[in-house]
Every structure is written in structure tokens, then in C-alpha cells.
Amino acid sequence: MSASETGRTALVIGASGGIGSAVVAALKAGGRYASVVTLSRSQTGLDVTDETTIRQASEEVRDIYGPVDLVFDATGGLEIGGQGPEKTIRAIDPAAMARQFALNAIGPALLLKHFSPLLAKDRLAVFATLSARVGSIGDNRLGGWISYRAAKAALNQIVRTSAIEIGRSHPQAVVVALHPGTVDTKLSAKFSRNHEVFWPSQAAEQLLAVVDGLDASQTGSFLAYDGSVIEW
């Protein structure tokens, strides 16, 4: 059955970024969905640190497209306002830490607040958000990057908790945090040394393969680009 026959809708938030734009391209090329809706700060004015823009965007998507089968949140940032991750606790700056939480934790929480009600109720629907392996508390053996790690760890808890609540009204919904690996984008360019690096197109295909293989039993999970489970 073709996407046009199923009428399925995918929504990509952060669609102008490196991973987001690659996900959009992969969705359109793959014919997975009849409609691929894109939102971003530069293209449509959606700012994840401004709830008003999020609410307005969600209302527009609801009114035009109705139930959504996939919400893919590709927002986030490692270096914000020219300030990268700290190497030591002595370098913590409260304003910089607040910006990390605003973009990497509170922003996705607001997206869940306003866009999860749009998920289809009568079939499997996915809300996926980009996290990072460094947000794993159990996997942290190097230290450093305190603000970014903490913000992503907070995001993981937001995903886990939201999945429980959303499952009550949307029993077939799957809410997951995804680690994309190190991707050749502006976000990770300065920090990719000694890591395997994926092209954005490769990362997008890997992430969408994980999404395509999900079922309701996996809601609230933290998964890597290869589908493996990452410890909290």
C-alpha cells in the first residue's frame, strides 16, 4: 500500500538542521508518508524556547493535517551562543547551563506537551526526540560536559515519564529518545575527533530504520542509531 493510500503524516521539527534536513529528505525519498510537514525556527518561526510559537504551530498542524503518525524532534544544541561544553565543574556558568536546559530539555518537553496530543490514537504513532549517549548516567565514565550531559539526562527522564502518561490516552503510541551517534554537522564538528562519524544522510536512514521497527512495547526507551538499548 502506498503512502498516498495510507494518508500517513510525518512531522519533522528542527527540519533546517543537519540531521533534521536529512531526515526530511529520507522521508520524502522513501515514500514512507503521504505528507512530510517541516517546522523550524529559520523556516517557520517555531522556537523551542518560546512556548507561544510551539502552541501556534501545533494548532496549525492539527487544523491542516489532523492526526500525525510520526513526530521527529531534531532540535538541540551542544554549543550555544558560542559557548561549548565545560571540561570541568569549575567552569560551570549558571547562565550557560540554563541555556542548555532550555534548548535540550525544556524545549522537547514543550514539544511533547503540545504535539503529543496530535498523535494518531487508532494506530501505532511515534514521537522520537534526539538525545545523546552522553546523557546516560550509567554510561558516564569520562566526566566533563556537565551542563549538556545533565540536560540530556533530564530529557531522557522527560521522555520516560511522558511515555507513561501518553500511553494512557494513546495505547499504541511510542515515545522514544534516540542517540544518532556522531554526525557530520555543525553541532558536532568541533567534537568529532576520535569518534566514528556518520554523514547526515546515513544517520537519518539509521534513525528512521529504528523508528520503522518500533512497537508499543518499546515506548519510553532510550535507543541508539543501531536499535540497541542505552542504559539510563
Which DSSP string corresponds to 65-94? H-SBSEEEE----SSBTTB---SSGGG--H
State yes or no: pLDDT of 5 exceeds 50.
no
Structural contact between residues 54 and 32, judged by C-beta atoms closer than 8 angstroms: no
Cell of 40: 523550524
Which pLDDT score, from 0 to 100, does residue 1 have? Answer: 29
Which pLDDT score, from 0 to 100, does residue 185 have? Answer: 78
Rounded to whole angstroms, how far apart are CA atoms 135 and 155? Answer: 8
Which pLDDT score, from 0 to 100, does residue 191 have? Answer: 60
Which pLDDT score, from 0 to 100, does residue 32 have? Answer: 82
Which pLDDT score, from 0 to 100, does residue 196 have? Answer: 84
pLDDT in tens, 51-106: 999 999 999 999 999 999 999 999 999 999 888 899 999 999 999 999 999 999 99
Strand 125-130 versus strand 182-183 pairing type: unpaired
Which pLDDT score, from 0 to 100, does residue 3 have? Answer: 35
CA 198 vs. chain centroid, Å, equals 17
H or E stretch at 168: helix 146-169
State yes or no: pLDDT of 132 exceeds 80.
yes
pLDDT in tens, 7-53: 899 999 999 999 999 999 999 998 889 999 999 999 999 999 999 99
Beta bridge partners of 223: 178, 229
Which pLDDT score, from 0 to 100, does residue 4 have? Answer: 37
pLDDT in tens, 142-199: 999 999 999 999 999 999 999 999 999 999 999 999 999 999 876 655 665 666 899 9
Stated pTM of the model: 0.93
